[in-house]
Structure 1
Amino acid sequence: MTALQGKGPTAVTDAPPPNPSASPDRSAKPDKLASLDRQLIELLRQRRTVVQADLQKSPAELIGRMSRANEAIDQVLAEMLPATDSADADALDRAGVRDWLRHAASFCLRGGENQRVAFLGPKYSYSYMATTRFFGAAAALAPVQSIEAVFESVVAGDCRSGVVPIENSTDGRIVDTLGMFVVHRVHICGEVFLPIHHNLLSRSPREAIKQVCSKPQALSQCRHWLARHLPTAQIVEVASTTEAARIASEQPGVAAVAGREAGRQYGLDVVDANIEDSPYNVTRFAVLGNETIDATGRDKTTMLLQVAHKPGALADAMAIFKNNRLNLTWIESFPIVGENAEYFFFIECEGHRSDPPVAAAIDSLKKQAMRLDILGSYPAAQPASE
């Protein structure tokens, strides 16, 4: 009710009743969003045109292009999305935007000559997540049954690239991968650090779980947690964490140790999260291929070395890195099959093989080594982040 003061008696008038048939005008918001979507599609079309034109000039590159795209994405994020207050409702999630841009980059690369990437499947495994972290979810992904099959796919040319785990911060080296480097001449063209968070996934509550299944490495990385919280449960090894999730989705009383994504795909509940024994549980993956990756100024070089089985031979080889002021970032011994107490050594140092100190070290090693394979020079990956 509104009172209107006039010269005469006070006049009182009722506000008009609302019209139930009238609806608020919401057309502006959908029209605006549709307009923005059209702009995004047009920008994606322009981006793909540029990438595809460049691919015509050098179709053999896949890993190098994706590596440079990832570096450019990180630079754009640093510029456009500096660290912000997490409470800011308008702040964009950096990880989400990075995935979105990486997806666009991989989408624009599709359609070239054999762009397939082999990885240890199935889909939603940790190897799958590492592969999409480097190549994007739009890449032509080819899941295979074993690490050996990843190498063979690249050697045979069935796939342009492959992704394999090389070491874990909890369990150390991945024996199957190192063994394949001894047998196959495949280059390391990049690396990926993937934080590994294992979850107990099931459709049953913890007290009803009688069996826990997963691949051996995942079970090993959670062995203390499992012994403490599920001491009577039967531990069953299966081929992959994704396979474990499938089994848990079909059998009451069975739980899987796997990532959240595998759990979502199979409709499992997270009974307990982050059950890995070490809070810093990271797996490093090697990106395989036959490309020569240009120096970036923040590179690593990995090599396979065999020295004579005599006192001081390994120490003399290590002195070469010291004399050339090269920092070693990884060294791993691997037994030579059929030989008693003789080893190959996987050695990784900072720098690109084209850098003078690295080149000088390689020349000196050639004079001492019984075998020296330069497995690759490639950009050092950014530290692992969620």
Structure 2
Amino acid sequence: MSDIEALRKQIDGIDAQIVRLLDERAAVAKRIGDWKRDRGQPAFDGGRQRELLDNLASHSSGAFPIEGLRNVFTEIMSACRNMEEATKICYLGPEATFTHQAAVDEFGASGDFIACQSIPDIFDWVEKGRAHYGVAPIENSTGGVVYATLDRFMQSPLIITAERSAPIELHLMANCAMSDIRVVYSHPQPFSQCRDWLQLHLPKARLEEVSSTVRGAELAAQEPGAAAIAGEMAAKKLKLHILQRGIQDVSDNFTRFWIISRDSAHATGDDKTSILFFIKHRPGALYDILRHMAECGINLTKIESRPSRRARWEYAFFVDLLGHQEDENVKTALARLDDACEQIRILGSYPRDRNS
């Protein structure tokens, strides 16, 4: 037997062991799924998944790439979770958008993914029980806040159960040469994130905003002299050539997504909490709220105001803070805010994505 044949035989034996262990894991996972279902608990637990992936990474010697290890076990958990009933996840479509990619990265490819036409549609699907989870963009590190997601929370009873921050690589794609491009299609967000590059390299091209990056890629695939700005998933789906990779003006370009559901997430020790509140109309009201937070040692990572839609010139405030709503200092701060605010709602406590 040659050296390569011996090594291949060794690989075959290892693979057979892996398959036996996967079968054993699936049997235990099924028992856990039955236990959860009998008690009305959700099949997916973002906090538990994050803890498990971190724990697995800590056990690795590094011979197998850590990111690959996380991807492999995300898919293993996805397959086990969906053995009996597929988890339904709706996202901002169409297929191959960045939100679709974020949903697959979070839940694994074994879920039942449903493309929605708008962010309100995502909320509607989950609120009506037609989907277990929704994935919606909340902000981009370059382009800013996605207000449609914030605004929908003013009427929705849904809860943020996880967050995911994903790097956004924007590519120029077409089936023609760059010199022949006369129009570029994309969503408004990518245009805002690639403004300088477009001005420098395609100053004469017409920029046409469309409903999604994938819609832009569809148009680029159909029209002579048309290009699109989108992700690699869209280029593969529409069979477009990537003419220039990574054209975003800021290389460290991330989008944060919220995973929404009707179920809350348990504390992991490394969490975020998002709240919505309306302040009382008196001098220093907002200052008092921020003072309460500071006195309780709360680190605010974001504060945003939006028109309340209840009365003219009245605003709702959205705040992200570090900690879980069950942490003592967060509990104390929220109790003080309850007295200081006209109305307050906890949108959810969830595992913090370290890239956010």
Out of 330, 334, 349, the position equivalent to 1:362 is 334
Change (3 A) 1:245 1:69: same
Aligned to 1:52: 30
Q: Shift in Å at residue 74 of structure 1?
A: 2.5
Mapped contact 2:47–2:268 kept (Cα < 8 A): no
Q: Shift in Å at residue 380 of structure 1?
A: 0.7
The CA distance in 2 between the partners of 1:208 and 1:351, in whole Å, is 52
Mapped contact 2:86–2:110 kept (Cα < 8 A): no
Aligned to 1:328: 300
* Structure of higher RCO (CA pairs closer than 8 Å, 6+ residues apart): 2
Q: Shift in Å at residue 287 of structure 1?
A: 0.8
Do structure 1's residue 214 and structure 2's residue 186 form an aligned pair?
A: yes
- Which has the higher mean CA deviation after the structures are superposed, 375-384 or 36-45? 36-45
Q: Could you give the per-residue CA deviations for residues 82-110 of structure 1, whole angstroms, max 9, x where no partner exists?
A: 4xxxxxxxx53332332122111111100
Q: Shift in Å at residue 163 of structure 1?
A: 0.8
Do structure 1's residue 171 and structure 2's residue 171 form an aligned pair?
A: no
The one-letter code of the counterpart of 2:98 is Y
Mapped contact 2:135–2:259 kept (Cα < 8 A): yes
The CA distance in 2 between the partners of 1:172 and 1:267, in whole Å, is 30
Change (3 A) 1:329 1:354: same
Q: Shift in Å at residue 37 of structure 1?
A: 3.5
The CA distance in 2 between the partners of 1:228 and 1:100, in whole Å, is 41
Mapped contact 1:165–1:283 kept (Cα < 8 A): yes
Do structure 1's residue 101 and structure 2's residue 73 form an aligned pair?
A: yes
Out of 36, 52, 56, the position equivalent to 1:72 is 52
The CA distance in 2 between the partners of 1:26 and 1:289, in whole Å, is 51
**After TM superposition, which residue ranges in structure 1, 4 or more long, deviate above 4 angstroms?**
23-34
The CA distance in 2 between the partners of 1:94 and 1:210, in whole Å, is 43
The one-letter code of the counterpart of 2:67 is A
- Which has the higher mean CA deviation after the structures are superposed, 92-101 or 51-60? 92-101
Mapped contact 1:130–1:194 kept (Cα < 8 A): yes
- Which has the higher mean CA deviation after the structures are superposed, 261-270 or 298-307? 261-270
Change (3 A) 1:250 1:94: farther
Aligned to 1:374: 346
The one-letter code of the counterpart of 2:123 is F
**TM-score when normalising by structure 2:** 0.93
SS in 1 for 2:154: helix
The CA distance in 2 between the partners of 1:97 and 1:365, in whole Å, is 42
RMSD of aligned Cα (Å): 2.0
Out of 280, 283, 289, the position equivalent to 1:317 is 289
The CA distance in 2 between the partners of 1:324 and 1:161, in whole Å, is 33
Q: Shift in Å at residue 54 of structure 1?
A: 0.4
Aligned to 2:253: 281
Q: Shift in Å at residue 132 of structure 1?
A: 1.6
The one-letter code of the counterpart of 2:16 is R
Out of 253, 263, 271, the position equivalent to 2:235 is 263
Q: Could you give the per-residue CA deviations for residues 22-77 of structure 1, whole angstroms, max 9, x where no partner exists?
A: x989865665544444333222222211111101111232341x432233123212
Aligned to 1:195: 167
**TM-score when normalising by structure 1:** 0.86
- Which has the higher mean CA deviation after the structures are superposed, 28-37 or 169-178? 28-37
The CA distance in 1 between the partners of 2:216 and 2:64, in whole Å, is 34
The one-letter code of the counterpart of 1:326 is I
Out of 62, 72, 88, the position equivalent to 2:43 is 62
Q: Shift in Å at residue 251 of structure 1?
A: 2.5
Q: Give the greater-gyration-radius structure (CA).
A: 1
The CA distance in 2 between the partners of 1:124 and 1:71, in whole Å, is 28
Q: Could you give the per-residue CA deviations for residues 316-372 of structure 1, whole angstroms, max 9, x where no partner exists?
A: 111110121111111111112253332100011111111111111111111121111
The CA distance in 2 between the partners of 1:300 and 1:186, in whole Å, is 16
The one-letter code of the counterpart of 2:293 is F
Out of 7, 14, 17, the position equivalent to 1:39 is 17
Q: Shift in Å at residue 123 of structure 1?
A: 2.1
Do structure 1's residue 92 and structure 2's residue 72 form an aligned pair?
A: no
Q: Shift in Å at residue 243 of structure 1?
A: 2.1
SS in 2 for 1:294: coil
The CA distance in 1 between the partners of 2:4 and 2:351, in whole Å, is 50
The one-letter code of the counterpart of 2:188 is P
Change (3 A) 1:112 1:372: farther
The one-letter code of the counterpart of 1:46 is E
Mapped contact 1:309–1:342 kept (Cα < 8 A): no
Aligned residues: 353
Q: Percent identity?
A: 33
Q: Shift in Å at residue 267 of structure 1?
A: 2.0
Change (3 A) 1:322 1:29: closer
Structure 1 residues not aligned, in runs of 5+:
1-22, 83-90
Mapped contact 1:70–1:102 kept (Cα < 8 A): no
Q: Shift in Å at residue 113 of structure 1?
A: 5.1
Aligned to 2:107: 135
Mapped contact 1:62–1:160 kept (Cα < 8 A): no
